[in-house]
Amino acid sequence: MKSENFETIAIRTQTERSLHKEHSAPIYLTSSYKFDDAEEMRALFANEKEGNVYSRYSNPNTSEFIEKMCLLEGAEDGFATATGMAAIFTTFGAFLKSGDHIVSSRSVFGSTHQLLTNVFSNWGVTFDYADLDKPQEWEDLIKPNTKMIFVETPSNPGIDIIDLEFLGDLAKKHSTLLVVDNCFATPYLQQPIQFGAHISIHSATKYIDGQGRVLGGIILGSKTLIAEVVGFARHSGPALSPFSAWVLSKSLETLAIRMDRHCENALKVAEYLEKHPKIKLVKYPFLPSHPQYAIAKKQMKQGGGIVTIVVDGGIEAARKFMDGLKMFSISANLADTRSIATHPATSTHSKLTEEQRNEVGIEQGSIRLSIGLEHINDILADIEQALA
Ligand SMILES: *Cc1c(COP(=O)(O)O)cnc(C)c1O
C-alpha cells in the first residue's frame, strides 16, 4: 500500500525482508557482497545491473535510509554520508572547480565557514557572504562565474530566514545551483526542493537521529545531480556506516511525532520568554514579532525546536543564566531529546571576531536554547528559576 503521508512513509518504507522474515530491519554489517558468477560481477561493475558491490558505494541499510529521505523530502535520489560536514564537503567537491564562485549566507555552520575560508579558497574557489534579511544583496553578489548559491535557513544561531522561493527564482535566472542546508528544519518542516532548490543537505546527527547517538549526513536532489555526487563520493569515500544508517532509518520512524513536540515546546518557551522583563530579544520563526514571520509561515510547517534569546546584561548575565540552569545541559550540540543551552559567543562562534559575530546577530548576551522533549512544565520551571 503506497501512502502519501509523512508518518506512514517514514515507518513503512523498508528494505526487502531476508529469509528470516524479520519485522524490524536487520543490520547488514558487511563491507562487500559476492557475485553469482563472473558475468554478474562484470555486469554490476559496468552498471548494467543494479545491486550492491561494496559498502563504500551502497549497503541495504544505507539504501533504506536514502529511499525514506527521498520520499520524505520530495527528491529523486540521494547519497548518505558519515557526517553532515561530509555531506557539505562532498557537495562542494562534486560541483565546484577552480575558478568557481559561491554566494553563501553569512550565517553558516562554523565548519562550513572553515571549508569556505581555509579549504576551498586554497583550491581556487572564491565566495561572498550575503545576509538572510537583505534579499537584494544576493543578486548583487552574483558574478558570471557564480556556480552555487548556498544557504542555511533558519540560520544558526541567529534564527534568520530567507524566502526559498525567491532564491529558487534567482538561481534559475542566473543558472546557478541552489544548495540548502536544511538541518534545522528537517524534511518534516521544510522541503527546499519544492521551492526550486537543486540540492538539500542534512546533518542527520541533529533532529533526524534526534537522540544524540550517531553522526550522519545526506545529500538529496535530482537523479542527474546525485549521479555527479555519487561519482565524486564513491572514490573519495565519505559513505555512512551501515550501523549508523540503521539507527537513522529507525529514528525517522518517530521524526514527525518528535518534531511536533519539539515545536510545541519551543513555541511555548518563546512566548514565555518574550514577556519576561530580563530578556532583551527572542528569535523564533513562528512568533509574530519575528522579522520574517510571514516567510516562515509560507515555507515552514512549524517553527522548529530552536529558540535564540538575548538576555539583558551582556556576557555576565548570559553566563549567570546558563550556570543557573539545573536541568538543561550546557553543550555545543542541539536537536536532542534533552534541552540544551549554548553560549555561541564563547563556544560555537568563538573563532569569529566580535565584529563578525555582530554581523550574524550574535551578541555577548545571546543564548541558543535547543528545546527538548522533557515535560514542558519542567522546561519552563528550569528557565524561570535560572532567570530569577
Ligand atoms: C551540525 C551541523 C552541521 C554539521 O553536521 P555534523 O553531522 O556535525 O558534521 C552542518 N550544518 C548545520 C546547520 C549543523 O547544525
Cell matching residue 170: 534567482
Do 227 and 339 lie in a common domain? no
The 8-class DSSP code of residue 327 comes to: S
| pLDDT top residue among 232 and 360 | 232
Planar angle of CA 105, 353, 164, nearest 5 degrees: 10
Tell the residue nearest (CA) to atom 4 of ligand 1.
84
Tell me the mean pLDDT in the region 154-180: 96
- In this structure, are 179 and 279 located in the same domain? no
Task: List the CATH number of the domain containing 282.
Answer: 3.90.1150.10
Asked if the model's pLDDT at residue 218 lies above 90, the reply is yes
Mutate to test the pocket of ligand 1, among 132, 160, 183 (most ligand atoms within 8 A of CB): 183
Calculate the alpha carbon distances from 120 to 107, 115, 117, 149 in Å: 18, 6, 7, 15
370 lines ligand 1 (CB under 6 A): no
**Ligand 1 within 6 A of CB of 215:** yes
Shared-domain flag, residues 272 and 334: yes
CB atoms closer than 10 angstroms to residue 20? 6
**Nearest residue (CA) to ligand 1, atom 12:** 109
pLDDT at 90: 98
In a domain, 1, yes or no: no
pLDDT in tens, 317-336: 999 999 999 999 999 889 99
Same domain, 101 and 220: yes
CB half-sphere exposure, 164, CA atoms < 13 A: 27
What is the distance between the alpha carbons of residues 26 and 242, in angstroms, rounded to a whole number? 10
Query: What's the pLDDT at 329?
Result: 97
- The cell numbers describing 335, all together, are 536537536
C-alpha cell of 214?
Answer: 550517531
Q: At 67, which amino acid appears?
A: E
Average pLDDT, the chain: 96
**Minimum-distance ligand 1 atom for the alpha carbon of 152:** 13
Q: Over the stretch 233-277, which tens digit does the pLDDT of each residue have? A: 999 999 999 999 999 999 999 999 999 999 999 999 999 999 999
Radius of gyration, alpha carbons of the chain = 21
Q: Give the domain-ending residue among 252, 267, 294.
A: 252
What is the reported pLDDT for 369? 98
Range of the structural domain that residue 208 is part of: 6-252
Q: Is 206 in the pocket of ligand 1 (CB under 6 A)?
A: yes
Cα 328 to Cα 334, 344, 382: the distances in Å are: 11, 16, 7
Do 109 and 136 belong to one domain?
A: yes
Span from the CA of 182 to the centroid of ligand 1 (angstroms): 10
The pLDDT value given to residue 157: 87
Q: Residue 202: is its pLDDT beyond 80?
A: yes
Q: Which helix (H) or strand (E) holds 356?
A: helix 354-359
Let me know whether 152 and 300 are in one domain: no
In tens, the pLDDT along 98-131 reads: 999 999 999 898 899 999 999 999 999 999 999 9
Strand pairing class (306-311; 101-105): unpaired
Q: 351 by DSSP, 3-state: which?
A: coil
Closest atom, ligand 1, to C-alpha of 88: 10
Do 303 and 323 share a domain, yes or no? yes
Residues 248, 259, single domain; the answer is no
What CA–CA distance (Å, rounded) separates 162 from 158? 12
